Structure 1
Amino acid sequence: MYWLVFAACVLLPSVHCASESVAWCYDQPSCNYTTWPVIATKFCNGSRQSPIDIVSASAEEDSSLPAFSFKDYDSKNALNKIENTGKTVKVTFNSGLQVSGGGLSQPYDSLQFHLHWGNGSSVPGSEHTVNGKRYPMELHIVNLNSKHNGNTTLGVADSTGLAALGFFIEEMSGNATGQPASWHTLSSYLMNITNAKESVSVAAGISMDDLLGDVDRNKFYRYLGSLTTPNCNEAVVWTVFEEPIKVSRDVIDLFSQTVRVSNSSSPFMINVYRGIQSPQKVTRSAISSSSTTCYSLGLMALSLALGRT
């Protein structure tokens, strides 16, 4: 089925949306990602397209990539609304969340996150791959350069106007169900948004820190790329974190077994990801867990010493 959408509006929850539109899809031969370079020629056949396969051995360490700072990611009131867009499940944020550091030129305002998946835990559907490995799911946090003051039209026209944070999602080992609790709660909303364009408010109680879990956010890859949906604007500073979020199989399976591409008689939403694009130059952070631990231990020792004076 064709879906006529505004290119920037698919990913960016703002009234300031790009005026160009294109009909695209994931599930039909006439409009799936193999046709995007033809039906959305301005950018989708460009030279810095996403997603890519990250070859870890070729990613040089970059000392100019320091640790990130995440503002209000611990807020239990961060999530505003969850929506079935007809292409993905998207969660918009309340205002205040922001990401900075990590080699970004300035702070970026966090707007929303959405997900990409294949067909349950058995058919992987992450967009990026690492050394050819595709994960079951991938979470993308979309952030807009704060200098654009919420205007996403300006953001998609700027080569570094957007910063996307990509987190792989991998099946948790063992026979756990409904884990982690934050993901169990989030997935419980899917029954309320089975049809396209349905949305519901998210109750207070889940923070982004809860959803990201214990992923080491000091370990990440960096490259310059694009939106992964038409119009594929080449405006994204990509950060892909090395460690995956661990989620139980039943929660992963719910996404491909609950939400549909249109109405109750339409197919379930599966294989909602773009294929791998041409390689780009990738660097990686040089912050090690050991250095972070040593720094923390140093602060602890200093505190103890001061406490004895």
Structure 2
Amino acid sequence: MKKSILILCLSFSLSTSAMAEHTHWGYQGDNAPENWGKMADAQTCATGKTQSPIDIFASKTNQKLPKLKFNYRHADIKQIVDNGHSLQFNFGSNSTLTHNNKTYTLVQFHAHEPAEHTINGIRYPLELHFVHQSADHSNLVVAVFVEEGKENSYFEKLSVFKKLAKNGSENTDIIFNPAHLYPQQHKYYRYTGSLTTPPCSEPVIWILFRQPISLSKAEIEEISHYLPKNNNRPIQPLNNRIIENN
């Protein structure tokens, strides 16, 4: 497979912007999260009032939260990238999620180690973000918490990433239905937040599955090999937001 070097400055991004091409950010030293708001075009990281991640707690139960409608049957991962901020899996444009009568296209998923969100102060060893975007460019992210346990046979469909060169990419053609990786129970938390990387854009609808999935210790370590140390943004103020759950 053809290998190339990709510079994607938004591990959460849906496209590479001019800001992303010129702004250097990271998780340590002068480029760490506490300094993101000082960067050009990333002031929202410091001034935003609905920033992510947050500590999740059951503040409101809403039995009427809409059911998630997945149309991932033909989901196809076209590229795997070590972009310097995360390990990212880019999809073709043929898979969607419908939420609240609005359709979002699945764009990519990537990993954070340890998890960015916490549950009543408890942090999982890994968190996967499945990034979706609608026709009006609004964003929805499905977050999946990962706990250490048995090897995940479905995740092993992506084992080609283990041969990925550091800071490199692989063009792929892997049929991969995220619904088969998601937890069996689809109960979730929902809140309005932001991207967790520069430019920390608002708003973003966050859907966080309450039930974690399991990966083996070896699988978690293999993913971590491609992640910067602690590539998780610190917890942000809730600012009176309501966290719904069903």
TM-score (norm 1): 0.70
Q: State the 1:23 CA deviation.
A: 1.6
Q: Please show how residues 96-135 of structure 1 align to structure 2 within 5 Å.
A: 96-101=94-99, 104=100, 106-117=102-113, 125-135=114-124
- Aligned partners of 1:248, 1:205: CA distance in 2, in Å? 22
Greater CA deviation, 43-52 or 92-101?
92-101
Is 1:166 aligned to 2:143, yes or no? yes
Is 1:204 paired with 2:174? yes
- Percent identity, aligned pairs only, is 29
Distance 2:102 2:155 in 1: 30
Output the CA distance in 2 between the equivalents of 1:48 and 1:238. 11
Give the secondary-structure state (helix, strand or coil) at the position aligned to 1:100. strand
Q: Deviations over 1:200-245 (max 9, x none)?
A: 1334353212322x4311x111111110001111121111110111
Report the equivalent of 1:272: 231
Mark the CA change 1:139 to 1:38 in structure 2 (over 3 Å): closer, same or farther. Answer: same
Determine whether 1:12 maps to 2:8.
no
Mapping 1:283-302, distance limit 5 Å: 283-286=243-246
Structure with the bigger percentage of strand: 2
Does 2:214 match 1:215?
Answer: no
Deviation at 1:283, TM superposition (A): 3.1
Shift of residue 6, structure 1, vs aligned partner: 6.8
Paired letter, 1:116 = H
In structure 2, the CA distance between the partners of 1:162 and 1:136, relative to structure 1 (3 Å rule), is same
User: Higher helix fraction: Structure 1 or Structure 2?
Assistant: 1
Bigger radius of gyration, 1 or 2? 1
Structure 1 position 184 matched with structure 2 position 184: no
SS at match of 1:209: helix
Contact persistence 2:53–2:196 (CA under 8 A):
yes
Superposed CA deviations along residues 178-203 of structure 1, whole A, max 9, x for unmatched, are: x21122332x223332311x111334
Segments of 5+ residues of structure 2 without an aligned counterpart are 1-6
CA deviation map 1:30-69 (0-9, x unaligned):
111121223355200111110000122xx21224412110
Matches of 2:108 and 2:36, distance apart in 1: 24
> What is the aligned length?
235
Q: Which amino acid is the alignment partner of residue 43 of structure 2?
A: K
User: Unaligned 5+ residue runs, structure 1?
Assistant: 118-124, 149-154, 156-160, 261-268, 287-309
User: How far off is 1:255 after superposition?
Assistant: 1.8
Match 2:49 to one of 47, 50, 53? 47
Please tell me the root mean square deviation across aligned C-alpha atoms, in Å. 2.1
Q: CA deviation at 1:10?
A: 4.0
> What is residue 237 of structure 1 aligned with on the other side?
205
In structure 2, relative to structure 1, the CA distance for the partners of 1:259 and 1:11 (3 Å cut) is same
Q: Give the residue type in structure 2 aligned to 1:24.
A: W
What CA distance in whole angstroms lies between the structure 2 residues aligned with 1:43 and 1:251? Answer: 34
In the TM superposition, residue 95 of structure 1 has moved relative to its aligned partner by 1.7
Higher relative contact order (CA 8 A, sep 6+): 2
